Amino acid sequence: MGFCNNARDREGNVIRRLLPFIGFAAAETWTTAAPAQEIKLTLADQNSPQAWGPTNALQPWVKQIETATKGRVKIEVFPSQTLVKGPDMWRQVRAGVVDIGWCFHGYWPDQTPLADVISLPFLPTKSAEQASEVLWKLYEKYPAIQKEFSDVVPLLLYTTSPYFLLTTKKQVKTLEDLKGMKIRIPGGPPTEMAKALGAVPAPIPMPDMYQALDKGVVDGMGVPWEAVQGFRLYEVAKYYTMVPTFSAYFSLCANKQKWASLPQDVRNQIMGVSGLAGAKFWGKNFFDTAETDALAKIKAGKHAMERYDVPEAEVARWRNVAGEPLWNEWVKKMEGKGHKEARAILNDALEMLKK
């Protein structure tokens, strides 16, 4: 009996010494067996996945989000308007048809009118990266701009590099050459610019522009290099008039209800690669880097290209007609709608762009 009692005592002591390790091992096994649930988000885009912008901005950003969330978030991209048409994007994001949408604000000129400040013509914009940074900082500073986006959750805002002119039948060299020409232009301030310059604005969706140029529906368009590359516009137009006119802007917006359903740490991780950092990344990689590749494609395909760099004295003529006068008209219009901060927003934009 003594031997049995001693054996049982020794066995009990061994078990008691092992209990903390057994508990730890069990907890570790439980943790490994129950990873955080994967979150799937849908993203609708109007652009081709092979285009410069999606290849160099959208797809890397999706990977950045997956890395930042340690693989917890997976984003399924629906490109080329396969899920949502570009002009319908804002409404469909708001309705929850898609979780995240690539939004081109030129489709909705009265929807975010204060944010339109960044698309006023002939601002001293140096690059898309710079203008994108300015736009996001204005959004962060002014509650009135934030209110314009209150139906959705903007993950980032970004802009194009300054648009130049691409035409099919003649080279535009002077202000007078534009008179009566039908030019595709986004809505908002760019439309007013086209009118002031004597052109006839045509707000046609970008995916339809190849055919519109090819069939002569329009005489030309305002365009950044990314669109020339992404939509192969070099195949249907050969006259390039290099005059910096305006920048269009975009947003990556999330559905409010879907965003609210995400864990707070996941939202923080997504915004860690979005917001200001995302705005600068998208502006630079979607637009600023596109010219080299567009020119390479033009050369490789032996497409006709006649480039004219408008002299500064002539640019000044355009600016005097459709630059500062339209800035003041925009301020007056915004103040007439009760936006007393319009002048301050413009002044802040100009100050930041001049740096």
pLDDT tens per residue, range 274-322: 999 999 999 999 999 999 999 999 999 999 999 999 999 999 999 999 9
The CATH architecture that domain 39-161+248-288 belongs to is: 3-Layer(aba) Sandwich (3.40)
Q: Is the pLDDT of residue 23 over 60?
A: no
**Percent of all residues in the chain with a pLDDT value above 90, rounded to a whole number:** 86
pLDDT band for position 2 (50/70/90)? very low
Give domain 164-245+303-322's CATH superfamily. Periplasmic binding protein-like II (3.40.190.10)
Q: Is the pLDDT of residue 273 over 70?
A: yes
C-beta separation of 278 from 100 below 8 A? no
Lowest mean pLDDT, pick from 13-27, 66-80, 242-256, 328-342: 13-27
Closest by CA position to 272, among listed 60, 67, 76, 41 = 67
**304: burial class by Cβ within 10 Å (0-12, 13-18, 19+)?**
exposed
Lowest mean pLDDT, pick from 8-17, 32-41, 121-130: 8-17
Closest by CA position to 138, among listed 336, 353, 331 = 353
Give ranges for CATH 3.40.190.10 in the chain: 164-245+303-322
Give ranges for CATH 3.40.190.170 in the chain: 39-161+248-288
Widest distance between CA atoms in the chain: 116
Q: How many residues does the chain have?
A: 355
Lowest mean pLDDT, pick from 11-25, 167-181, 189-203: 11-25
